Structure 1
Amino acid sequence: MPIKFGTDGWRDIIAEDFTYANLRTVAQAHAQVLRAAGGSSVVVGFDPRFGGRDFARVVAETLSQQGLGVWLASEYLPTPALSFAALHLGAAGGVMITASHNPPQYSGYKLKGSYGGSATPAMVAEVEAALARSEPYNGPVGDIQPLDIREAYFGQLDRQLDLSALRAYRGVVYHDAMGGAAAGWLGAYMRSRQFGFELREVRGEPDPLFGGVNPEPIPQNLTALMDTLSHETGQTFAVITDGDADRVGAVTAGGQFFNSHQIFAVFIQHLYGRGLRGRVVKTVSGSRIIELLTHKLGLELLETPVGFKYITDAFLEGQADETKAVMIGGEESGGLSSRGHIPERDGLLNSLLLIEAVAMSGKSLGELFADLEADVGFKHVYDRNDLHLSSTFDKAQLLSRAAAYREVAGHAVESVNTRDGVKLTLSGGASAMFRPSGTEPVVRVYVEAQSAGDVKAILDEATRRVQALDNG
Structure 2
Amino acid sequence: MPIKFGTDGWRDIIAEDFTYANVRLVAQAHAQALRQQGGQTGGKSVVVGFDTRFQGANFARVVADTMAEGGLDVWLAAEYLPTPALSFAVVHHGAAGGVMVTASHNPPAYSGYKLKGSYGGSATPSIVAEVETALDAPETYSGPRGTVRPLDIRQAYYEQLDRQLDLNILRAYRGRVIHDAMGGAACGWLTGYAEHAGLKLDLTELHGRPDPLFHGVSPEPIPQNLSELITLLAQESGQTLGVITDGDADRVGAVTAGGQFFNSHQIFAVLTAHLYRVRGLRGRVVKTVSGSRVIDLLCQKLGLEVLETPVGFKYITDAFLEGQNDEGKAVLIGGEESGGLSSRGHIPERDGLLNSLLMIEAMAASGKSLTKLFADIEKEVDFQHHYNRADLHLSSQFDKAALLAGVQNMTDVAGRAVEGVNTRDGVKLTLAGGASAMFRASGTEPVVRVYVEAQSEADLRAILDEATRRVYGYDPGQQPG
TM range (shorter): over 0.9
User: In the alignment, does 2:370 pair up with 1:365?
Assistant: yes
* Contact 1:416/1:422 (8 A) holds in 2: yes
Task: Indicate how the Cα distance of structure 1 residues 278 and 453 shifts in structure 2: closer, same or farther if over 3 A, else same.
Answer: same
Q: Report the equivalent of 2:137.
A: 133
* Contact 1:56/1:97 (8 A) holds in 2: yes
Name the stretch that deviates more: 78-87 or 453-462.
453-462
Name the stretch that deviates more: 460-469 or 51-60.
460-469
Q: Report the equivalent of 2:9.
A: 9
Residue ranges of structure 2 left out of the alignment (5+ in a row): none
User: In the alignment, does 2:449 pair up with 1:450?
Assistant: no
Q: Report the equivalent of 2:381.
A: 376
Q: Percent of aligned positions with the same letter in both sequences? A: 75
Runs (4+) off by over 6 Å: none
Q: Report the equivalent of 2:176.
A: 172
* Contact 1:8/1:124 (8 A) holds in 2: no
Alignment of 1:64-103 (within 5 A): 64-103=68-107
Q: Report the equivalent of 1:183.
A: 187
The residue type paired with residue 4 of structure 1 is: K
Instruction: Give CA-to-partner distance per residue, 1:68-101, whole Å, 9 cap, x none.
Output: 0100112110000000000000000000000101
2:58 alignment partner, SS class: helix
2:5 alignment partner, SS class: coil
Alignment of 1:23-422 (within 5 A): 23-37=23-37, 38-273=42-277, 274-422=279-427
1:84 alignment partner, SS class: helix
Q: Report the equivalent of 1:18.
A: 18
Counterpart Cα distance in 2 of 1:130 and 1:401? 39
Instruction: Give CA-to-partner distance per residue, 1:307-329, whole Å, 9 cap, x none.
Output: 11100000000001111000000
1:51 CA displacement = 1.1
The CA RMSD measured in Å over matched residues stands at: 1.1
1:441 CA displacement = 3.8
Task: Indicate how the Cα distance of structure 1 residues 54 and 441 shifts in structure 2: closer, same or farther if over 3 A, else same.
Answer: farther
Task: Indicate how the Cα distance of structure 1 residues 153 and 391 shifts in structure 2: closer, same or farther if over 3 A, else same.
Answer: farther
* Contact 2:264/2:339 (8 A) holds in 1: yes
Task: Indicate how the Cα distance of structure 1 residues 104 and 255 shifts in structure 2: closer, same or farther if over 3 A, else same.
Answer: same
2:122 alignment partner, SS class: coil
* Contact 2:178/2:204 (8 A) holds in 1: yes
1:349 CA displacement = 0.3
Counterpart Cα distance in 2 of 1:319 and 1:340? 9
1:378 CA displacement = 0.8
Name the stretch that deviates more: 392-401 or 92-101.
392-401
* Contact 1:112/1:119 (8 A) holds in 2: yes
1:227 CA displacement = 1.4
1:228 CA displacement = 1.1
Counterpart Cα distance in 2 of 1:298 and 1:212? 45
The residue type paired with residue 173 of structure 2 is: Y
Instruction: Give CA-to-partner distance per residue, 1:29-60, whole Å, 9 cap, x none.
Output: 11111111110100000000111111111111
Counterpart Cα distance in 2 of 1:2 and 1:53? 24
1:215 alignment partner, SS class: coil
Counterpart Cα distance in 2 of 1:412 and 1:99? 40
* Contact 1:121/1:310 (8 A) holds in 2: no
Counterpart Cα distance in 2 of 1:465 and 1:13? 31
1:250 alignment partner, SS class: strand
1:460 CA displacement = 1.0
1:137 alignment partner, SS class: coil
* Contact 1:384/1:446 (8 A) holds in 2: yes
Counterpart Cα distance in 1 of 2:405 and 2:111? 31
1:391 CA displacement = 4.4
Instruction: Give CA-to-partner distance per residue, 1:320-357, whole Å, 9 cap, x none.
Output: 11110000000000000000000000000000000000
2:294 alignment partner, SS class: helix
1:131 alignment partner, SS class: helix
Task: Indicate how the Cα distance of structure 1 residues 202 and 338 shifts in structure 2: closer, same or farther if over 3 A, else same.
Answer: same
1:123 CA displacement = 1.2
The residue type paired with residue 29 of structure 1 is: A
Counterpart Cα distance in 2 of 1:46 and 1:439? 24
Residue ranges of structure 1 left out of the alignment (5+ in a row): none
Counterpart Cα distance in 1 of 2:5 and 2:408? 26
1:440 CA displacement = 4.2
Instruction: Give CA-to-partner distance per residue, 1:107-143, whole Å, 9 cap, x none.
Output: 1100001111111122112212221112111111111
1:256 CA displacement = 0.5
The residue type paired with residue 387 of structure 1 is: L
Task: Indicate how the Cα distance of structure 1 residues 52 and 438 shifts in structure 2: closer, same or farther if over 3 A, else same.
Answer: farther
The residue type paired with residue 170 of structure 2 is: L
The residue type paired with residue 373 of structure 1 is: E
1:104 CA displacement = 1.0
Instruction: Give CA-to-partner distance per residue, 1:159-195, whole Å, 9 cap, x none.
Output: 0011111111111011001111101100111122221
2:18 alignment partner, SS class: coil
Counterpart Cα distance in 2 of 1:64 and 1:213? 36
Instruction: Give CA-to-partner distance per residue, 1:385-405, whole Å, 9 cap, x none.
Output: 122333453333322222222
Task: Indicate how the Cα distance of structure 1 residues 3 and 322 shifts in structure 2: closer, same or farther if over 3 A, else same.
Answer: same
Counterpart Cα distance in 1 of 2:14 and 2:358? 35
The residue type paired with residue 11 of structure 2 is: R
1:23 alignment partner, SS class: helix
Counterpart Cα distance in 2 of 1:89 and 1:434? 41
